[in-house]
Amino acid sequence: SCSRPLGLCPKHAIGVSMNDSTSLPTATLGVPRMGPRRELKQALERHWTGASSDAELLDAAAALRAAHWARQHAQGITRIPVGDFSLYDHVLDLSMMVGVLPTAHAAAELPPLETYFALARGRQGRPGLPALEMTKWFDTNYHYLVPEFAPGQSFKPGPNKVLAEFLEARALGYRTRPVLLGPVTYLKLGKGESDPLRLLDGLLPVYVHLLRQLAEAGADEVQIDEPWLVMDADEATQQAYVSAYGRLARELPGLELMLTTYFGELGDNLETALALPVSGLHLDLSRAPHQLDQVLRHARPDHKLSLGVIDGRNVWRADLSGLLDRLEPVRDRLGPERLVIASSCSLLHVPTDLDLETDLDPDLKGWLAFAVQKMGELAILGRGLALGREAVRAELAETDKALAGRQSSAKVNDPSVASRVSGLDATMAERRSPYAARRQLQRAALRLPPFPTTTIGSFPQTAELRQARARHAKGAMTDADYADFLEAMTVEAVRWQEEIGIDVLVHGEFERNDMVQYFGERLQGYAFTAHGWVQSYGSRYVRPPVIFGDVGRPEPMTVRWSSFAQSLTTKPVKGMLTGPVTMLQWSFVRDDLPRQAVCRQIALALRDEVLDLEAAGIGCIQIDEPAFREGLPLRRKDWADYLAWAVQCFKIAAGGVADKTQIHTHMCYAEFNDIIDSIAAMDADVISIETSRSRMELLDAFVGYRYPNEIGPGVYDIHSPRVPDADEIRTLLDKALSNLAPEQLWVNPDCGLKTRGWAEVRPALLNMVAAAKALRLAS
Ligand code: GLN
Ligand code: ZN
């Protein structure tokens, strides 16, 4: 690593080659944007509230970029990216660079930064403008803004943001490698044009222009990201790659393109990728290590290979000795000048700096690596491969020791969990009787009216509640006082639900900070960080827990609150749990077990909770699985395997109860058409889904399938402050009933109400109950 002040380091100063004989080239493909203390969030939010000027925001962004470059340089990264930074989203940045704006946004002729934020977040006032749609970036929890193409969309170069950052870095003394999302992936990510590849011919001249500007400014290599190459691609898509990269090579001779793939294996796109006239290919060898041998067999003799060996998707310290065992023969075979040692994908998807974690268990801390530590790992590999293992002996020894400790640690391995998992048998995942028989028993036990009303679980997390939680966490409120406070809120919520005539009550989830964190904090094998934030979208970050060891449930987690609420009423109170797939999906998961094995452990812990709730007299238990669909693998061929174990885990959690206990599940953010068999196979007695925004369209999957069990299609859009009136809700219910049997239909909102205020929730639920009552009278 290099600690000399910028500009004084002979290896890295302007005009000096990026190459360095003491290390193989090392690359991160991008780094977290927010800054170690979430500085970007603060800068953005100040700007959005009008507390800072454009110039102040842009200065803060420039300072962050300078810090990102300095950090990478100090850690020994030789291919430092530029263009990976973004104020909000890199796909939106590209849309601005190639001139893709919806007509309304273009017509508004706002200054560029205002246009940018209007696209990102929508704009209130005149002119009011909607935000672009947002969706998941491949299988990550990062969300990008979907390019919106007009029919026959044309393109024109906008300000070249990547060039600006390249020049900015150079002024600070760095030679950097620009990053640009490639044209085929960009088109594939957009919407509004049924065959987006038709737009390729119009888009390529703009790419040529942007890349030529970079080349003229002195960039000799560009990282061009084409993650679509790991997706199922038809022949037309493969052909688009051939024509796009053929044209770029013809028009930009001398500019080296590092074609960058990540998040999986190239598979049947490998041949296409290897035939493209680019100088190099980056492979994700963390997700798909076996690709290396194939590529070594088929690469051109002058192909550069960027080996993505440091996992950009997870937080574990790498086995550096093991990696050197694999990489040394590759170096010997190809020669050091053809190799780059890299992270598997951008480090955007991991937290910034482990050193900020002062309260983590020291053993666990020794097993982890965040973005900064991963840069250090890349540098160790780079030096070890250039100079031999002796040069990095101390680093390897320290890593080996930490990893050996992890492998044998009693914190990781709990024989009682292992023996429970191996004792699982197929009957544990099955209810005792089929749904039709259970239904009779549940009707008798719960005595519900037709079209029963319920909610999804949480009630508003008021300012008062958040304050009390914060005071309790700081030690300024005693456990007893905090519990009293939560009890009072729960009493009030139960009374109110009874009063307005809800049929299946909830306790309100006031004791929960977050639906995963609450359970993670009560399960063995989970840990939480203080600063481990990753970007979800824009200025929204999440702090996923880390599953580091065998998961067990030392004691009941929710029974106290559910039975307290049940003690207040004769109506059924629904127990409320986060399901095993969601607990897995929204965490960083240990990498020494298959994901499905970890999921089974969580399922068994939740099964115990379900049985304890049942024993405490709770007759309805909801197991939320909002992340069920998110877990789908990128390639279709892998779906069946995932769906089989995901369904099985849900059923292990749910399957232990008596027939008369009613199991609910809840899913939002989902389309169901292509997974409806699996949803049905979960065999929940009742499923609630989000349907109000699509005006019941999402229900079509269930209808066409003739879904046999009960369904609560959401009738209240909880994402909007708008209060729906009873007629509007009734219209949605009638629409649902045109296809569902009346015995199937439940009446509930789209999702939990924690983000809303009571001022909206009270009238909305009153209207919902009124609509259900009117429907009962009419039927
Ligand atoms: N029970 C949870 C709640 O109501 C469900 C949240 C979710 O599905 N995202 O908050
Ligand atoms: Zn939901």
Burial degree of 101 (CB within 10 A; 0-12, 13-18, 19+): buried
Q: Strand locations in 311-349, DSSP E?
A: 339-343
Cβ pair 328, 14 in contact under 8 A: no
Q: In angstroms, rounded to a whole number, what is the distance separating the alpha carbons of residues 737 and 741?
A: 7
Q: Strand locations in 182-273, DSSP E?
A: 221-225, 256-260
The amino acid sitting at 62 is: A
Q: In angstroms, rounded to a whole number, what is the distance separating the alpha carbons of residues 324 and 79?
A: 20
Ligand closest to Cα of 622 equals 1
Each residue's pLDDT tens digit, 323-365: 999 999 999 999 999 999 999 999 999 999 999 999 999 999 9
Q: Is 751 labelled as part of a ligand binding site?
A: yes
pLDDT at 15 over 80: no
Quote the pLDDT of residue 14.
44
- 3-state SS assignment for residue 266: coil
| Alpha carbon distances (Å) from 333 to 301, 302, 337 | 11, 13, 11
Active-site residue flag, 12: no
Helical axes 161-171 vs 54-75, angle rounded to 10°: 60
Q: In angstroms, rounded to a whole number, what is the distance separating the alpha carbons of residues 199 and 193?
A: 9
Cβ pair 776, 451 in contact under 8 A: yes
What is the Å distance from ligand 2's center to 669 Cα? 7
- The protein residue whose alpha carbon is closest to atom 1 in ligand 1 is 457
Beta bridge partners of 307: 283, 341
pLDDT at 162 over 70: yes
Q: Strand locations in 311-412, DSSP E?
A: 339-343
Each residue's pLDDT tens digit, 261-306: 999 999 999 999 999 999 999 999 999 999 999 999 999 999 999 9
* φ/ψ of residue 46, rounded to 5: -60, -45
What is the Å distance from ligand 2's center to 624 Cα? 8
Ligand closest to Cα of 753 equals 1
| CA torsion, ordered 546, 31, 172, 379, to nearest 10 deg | 70
HSE toward the beta carbon, residue 205, CA cutoff 13 A: 8
pLDDT at 116 over 80: yes
The amino acid sitting at 488 is: A
| Overall average pLDDT of the 496-523 stretch | 97
The amino acid sitting at 765 is: L
Instruction: Decide whether any atom of ligand 1 lies within 6 Å of the 458 Cβ.
Output: yes
* φ/ψ of residue 526, rounded to 5: -105, 145
- 3-state SS assignment for residue 177: strand
Q: In angstroms, rounded to a whole number, what is the distance separating the alpha carbons of residues 78 and 91?
A: 25
What is the Å distance from ligand 1's center to 41 Cα? 25
Q: In angstroms, rounded to a whole number, what is the distance separating the alpha carbons of residues 596 and 582?
A: 12
Ligand closest to Cα of 582 equals 1
Q: In angstroms, rounded to a whole number, what is the distance separating the alpha carbons of residues 590 and 600?
A: 13
Quote the pLDDT of residue 7.
47
pLDDT at 1 over 60: no
| Alpha carbon distances (Å) from 682 to 431, 581, 656, 685, 690 | 10, 12, 14, 9, 18
3-class secondary structure for 53-108? CHHHHHHHHHHHHHHHHHHHHHHCCCEEEECCCCCCCHHHHHHHHHCCCCHHHHHH
Cβ pair 489, 508 in contact under 8 A: yes
- To test the pocket of ligand 1, the residue of 141, 454, 455, 458 to mutate (highest count of ligand atoms within 8 Å of its CB) is 458
pLDDT at 5 over 80: no
Answer yes or no: is the ipTM higher than 0.90.
Answer: yes
The greatest distance separating any two alpha carbons of the chain, rounded to the nearest whole angstrom, comes to: 84
How is residue 454 annotated by DSSP? B
Buried/exposed 559-572: b ≥16 CB within 10 Å, e otherwise: bebbbbbbebeebb
Quote the pLDDT of residue 670.
76
| Overall average pLDDT of the 481-491 stretch | 98
For residue 737, name the pLDDT band (cuts at 50, 70, 90): very high
Chain mean position to CA 123? 26
Average pLDDT, the chain: 95
Radius of gyration of the chain (CA): 28
Q: Is 637 labelled as part of a ligand binding site?
A: no
Q: What ligand 1 atom has the least distance to the C-alpha of 512?
A: 10
Quote the pLDDT of residue 753.
98
* φ/ψ of residue 636, rounded to 5: -55, -40
Each residue's pLDDT tens digit, 573-627: 999 999 999 999 999 999 999 999 999 999 999 999 999 999 999 999 999 999 9
Query: What percent of the chain is modeled with pLDDT above 90?
Result: 94
83 Rama class: left (phi>0) / alpha (psi -120 to 50) / beta = left
Each residue's pLDDT tens digit, 425-438: 989 999 999 999 99
- 3-state SS assignment for residue 517: helix
Q: What ligand 1 atom has the least distance to the C-alpha of 754?
A: 10
* Omega before 127 within 30 of 0, i.e. cis: yes
Question: Tokens 């067999």 sit at which residue?
Answer: 297
Each residue's pLDDT tens digit, 653-677: 999 999 999 999 999 877 899 999 9
Cβ pair 490, 508 in contact under 8 A: yes
Q: Is 38 labelled as part of a ligand binding site?
A: yes
Instruction: Decide whether any atom of ligand 1 lies within 6 Å of the 751 Cβ.
Output: yes
The amino acid sitting at 92 is: L
Instruction: Decide whether any atom of ligand 1 lies within 6 Å of the 626 Cβ.
Output: yes
- 3-state SS assignment for residue 625: coil
For residue 9, name the pLDDT band (cuts at 50, 70, 90): low
Each residue's pLDDT tens digit, 36-95: 999 999 999 999 999 999 999 999 999 999 999 999 999 999 999 999 999 999 999 999
> What six digits make up the tokens of 335?
């020669």
If we measure between CA atoms, which residue out of 488, 502, 461, 496 comes closest to residue 756?
461
| Overall average pLDDT of the 221-244 stretch | 98
Q: What is the C-alpha end-to-end distance of the chain, expressed in Å?
A: 75
Cβ pair 261, 226 in contact under 8 A: yes
- 3-state SS assignment for residue 448: coil
Q: In angstroms, rounded to a whole number, what is the distance separating the alpha carbons of residues 516 and 557?
A: 12
Each residue's pLDDT tens digit, 415-470: 999 999 999 998 999 999 999 999 999 999 999 999 999 999 999 999 999 999 99
Cβ pair 237, 273 in contact under 8 A: no
| Overall average pLDDT of the 528-538 stretch | 97
Q: In angstroms, rounded to a whole number, what is the distance separating the alpha carbons of residues 27 and 341?
A: 6
Q: Is 136 labelled as part of a ligand binding site?
A: yes
What is the Å distance from ligand 1's center to 585 Cα? 15
> What six digits make up the tokens of 55?
């110039």
Quote the pLDDT of residue 493.
98
442 Rama class: left (phi>0) / alpha (psi -120 to 50) / beta = alpha
Quote the pLDDT of residue 19.
65
